[in-house]
Amino acid sequence: MKKINISLGKRSYKIIISSDRFNDICSFLPLRPGDNAMIITNQTLSPMYLNKFISLMKKSKIEVDYITIADGEQYKTLETINYIIGILLKRSHDRNTTLISFGGGVIGDITGFVAAIYQRGVRFIQIPTTLLAQVDASVGGKTGVNHMLGKNMIGAFHQPISVIIDTNFLLSLPPREFSSGLAEVIKYGIILDASFFQWIEKNIDLLMALNKDTISYCISKCCELKADIVSNDEYDFGRRSILNLGHTFGHAIEAHMGYGSWLHGEAISVGIVMAIRTSERLGQFNTKDINRIINLLQRAKLPIYGPVEMMSKDYLPYMIRDKKVISGKLKLILPSSIGVAEVKNNIPYELVLDVINKCQNIC
């Protein structure tokens, strides 16, 4: 078992990483007998785990309730938020209730946002069950939902009180979902740690084969890297922005194609390729490193070309509405070498559109 601390003063919390500990999960929950909890999960996980989870909670004398919602990015909406809040009110849950997110990134974002706004804020716990959520989405307190005009445009910063990761949940994860999570893993190497990127290159086959020790190290390393960033820039005013490598492009794909059509990591994979090609055009990234990144994404079974249904001009409305755009000036996260990235301002739209156009066909 590994513990990683997110240092945020009174809002500090621990990420606990283990394997095959679901039967003992209540010993990790920062709850006491008599506490009230509401589990929020989805229709995919519910048949596999919910009854057992409720039974374990009751044995620990925790007053437990649950909500099951539909599974998928297309349900990350204000309508779902309203539905959950309605149930909380009807069942008389007050500010002493702790919400428990039990699922992937969508469930985590939804639960966190409800926790941020219900009765002006309640506690919540993250129990992420997908690779993407375990290495990225569950850590750092970003919560929210999508709007038809843009991804994650409605939300709030609201930190969990604990993140509990059991790597055994990944054994039931569909291969496509696992690959989606690897996009965020690869991202960490590109922007923060060249030696970790090299480690991923060496161990990608073991990761794809769900080797227990390899996966545990990978998740721990990603959480350590993100913990350091979040602890020093909780509200995304500075260095935390580099965690959005590829996201300006990728969010455009997700929104335009319809949420859920492309998985988040799939869209981010293409976004990473577009970002490094933009960096190349600006003369700050070399062809050898570009080829290494593209090869690794392909080995992870991730796409490197944009959707054939999208033209370069289709990206622009979403990119202009991106949260990093200020006064109409485009900002992108661009690497200068593997392990080093920075925010670049005033990127010419014409250059970006040309890169997107080329990445629709060959990268």
Binding-site residue numbers for Zn(2+) are 184, 247, 264
Nearest one of 11, 61, 54 to 35, comparing CA atoms: 61
Query: Which residues are part of a known binding site for NAD(+)?
Result: 71-76, 105-109, 129-130, 142, 151
Secondary structure (DSSP) of 62-76 = -EEEEEEE--SGGG-
Binding residue positions: 71-76, 105-109, 129-130, 142, 151, 184, 247, 264
Helices (H), the chain: 51-59, 78-90, 105-117, 131-132, 175-192, 194-208, 212-232, 247-257, 264-281, 287-299, 312-320, 349-359
* CA–CA dist 8, 232 (Å, integer): 8
Write the burial class of residue 32 (CB in 10 Å: 0-12 exposed, 13-18 middle, 19+ buried).
exposed
Residues 6+ apart with CB under 8 A from 103: 40, 41, 42, 45, 71, 128, 129, 130, 133
The amino acid present at 181, given as its one-letter code, is G
CA 189, 193, 199, 202 dihedral sign is: positive
What is the Cα–Cα distance from 21 to 34, expressed in whole angstroms?
23
C-beta separation of 338 from 331 below 8 A: no
Conformational region of residue 70, where left means phi above 0, alpha means psi within -120 to 50, and beta covers everything else: beta
Which residues fall within 8 angstroms of residue 120, CB to CB, at 6 or more apart? Answer: 95
Residue with tokens 């392990």: 339
